Amino acid sequence: MASFDDNIFFATIGELNKKIKGGDFSLSELMRAFCDRLEKLGPRYNALALSLRERAVRQAKEVEGEIKRGRFRGPLQGIPFAAKDLLAVPGEVTTWGGRPYAAQVFDYEATALEKLRKTGAILLGKLSMVELAGGGGYRYANASLFGPGLNPWDRSRWSGGSSSGSGSAVAAGLVTFALGSETSGSILTPSAFCGVTGLRPTYGLVSRYGAMALSWTMDKIGPMCRSAEDCGLVLHAIAGGDSKDPGSARKSFYYAPRFAKELKEIRVGYAPVDFEEWPAPVARDAFRQALEAIRALGVQMKEVALPDLPYGLVTSTVIAAEGSAVFEELITSGRVEQLADRKQIAGLKAGRDILARDYLKAMRLRRIIQQAFRELLTDVDVLLAPARNSAASKISEPLDRGGATPAPKQPGMRPLIPAGNLAGLPALCLPCGFAENLPVAIQLVSRPFTENTILSLGKHFQSATDWHKKRPPVT
């Protein structure tokens, strides 16, 4: 069997595809090497939910035959990836991260996985997640059937939720890319904590058929990768209309950064307080340098602030009401007691008590929030802020602990994650440095269906910096 070093395991999609097309090695041997690594190191980070080795090796042989016959499907052909364990693979267990569903098997395939399979990308396994994608709210990182997601940069730290396994697996070089999901931060948070590039697409751009529902009006499927360019390539493959998803926007996406606005024409909105006061003191230098790196690209910078609206309250009301409806049978049957986190159990139960008038009021406020963003994004093209204000927390710490220092007087864009999810906006998470040897990241947010704008800006940022190329001390 051929020998593969870390340069292969940490290669981008483009780099790996070039070697595959060039016949540098057997694709079957490459898949076995990645499967070995995923099976060996995945449990070390509590990242692996299910290995799909036999399926992967079988598909690798098929793809290898296509390449030998000169049939090249595109840049994802032969690329190894894995998916969060809320996406259905026919005939295989899909646990949704929770003990009540530990033996759950579906006979159909999630649309996003089907689309990737048709590009020749090879699914190596299912990745761990916070139980039920965090529905009901949870207090500790160990709210998962697989234990707390451990960060490859420091295993005493959390990899982030709820796409914890996806963040760890990409960061540790176990797969070239992974699929995650976000309802309010579940792609951006693990991407930021693990130092990978993650993309939350516009609501409705990627089909959720075959994915566990938490909030019908807010759930999104997106890629977690090595670079902005890789995110664009994966989104190109998985986006598109789907009649099987009632929330589908029925729009396609074509990754075409060459047709994006020139840098000098892009208007970037930011709030100085987001970089000077809101971040943890040890992270401020990294965020200041990231802000200056964006400015140095030649974009137009403009100070902005989010309107004063109850983003957090609206988000929690919508997710709690919809999530408790989704999991009504779990709650009423009593099986909800099998979940690992007592706060989450209580939260799911409490969601059933939300009154219809309160849910409808939240949805009316959501429309106001969407209109506010439409107005804000006529003055600027992109919003820039830290993805998270600090590095990953310790797995032993409660996630709802309060801040140690007084909050700044100006809110800036601190609630951009819940606000952006309510408005259905795309966001790109970019590693931008370190705080006490742990990754930190910025986020770029733009108006709906303008992913090419943030991907282009992200690609330029990553051409000028090398934070996305840093590797954890995998042990």
Active site residues: 84, 162, 186
Q: The tokens of 27 are what?
A: 């694709």
Q: In the block, which residue shows the tokens 């048709």? A: 118
248 token code pair = 């589908």
Please list the residues that pair with 302 across neighbouring strands.
269
Contact between 55 and 30 under an 8 Å Cβ cutoff? The reply is no
Structure tokens at 126: 């299912």
Burial of 303 by CB count in 10 Å (0-12 exposed, 13-18 middle, 19+ buried)? exposed
DSSP state string for 385-408: EESSSS-PPBTTS-TTPPPSSPPP
Exposure pattern of 398-436 as b/e (b: 16+ CB <10 Å)?
ebeeeeeeeeeeebbbbbbbbbbbbbbbbbbbbbbbbbe
Please tell me the distance from the alpha carbon of residue 416 to that of residue 184, in angstroms, as a whole number.
Answer: 10
The runs of H, that is alpha helices, within 80-219 are 111-119, 164-171, 188-194
Pick the closest to residue 180 from 158, 206, 204, 155 (CA basis). 206
Give SS3 for 341: coil
* Torsion-angle region of 120 (φ positive above 0: left; ψ -120 to 50: alpha; else: beta): left
SS3 213: coil
Phi, psi (rounded to 5 degrees) for 454 = -70, -30
Q: Is 140 helix (H, G, I), strand (E, B) or coil?
A: coil
Gyration radius (Cα) of the chain, Å: 21
Neighbour order of strands in the sheet with 177-182: 48-51, 122-127, 80-84, 177-182, 220-225, 197-200, 427-435, 438-446, 382-386, 267-270, 300-303
Name residue 300's beta-bridge partners: 267
Q: In 3D, which of 185, 167, 225 has the Cα closest to residue 416? A: 185
What are the residues facing 198 on neighbouring strands?
224, 429
Q: How far apart are CA 463 and CA 472, in angstroms?
A: 20
Cα atoms in the Cβ-side hemisphere of radius 13 Å centred on 337: 4
Coil, strand, or helix at residue 298?
Answer: coil
The single residue listed with the structure tokens 């076995």 is 32
Between CA 351 and CA 322 the distance in angstroms is 8
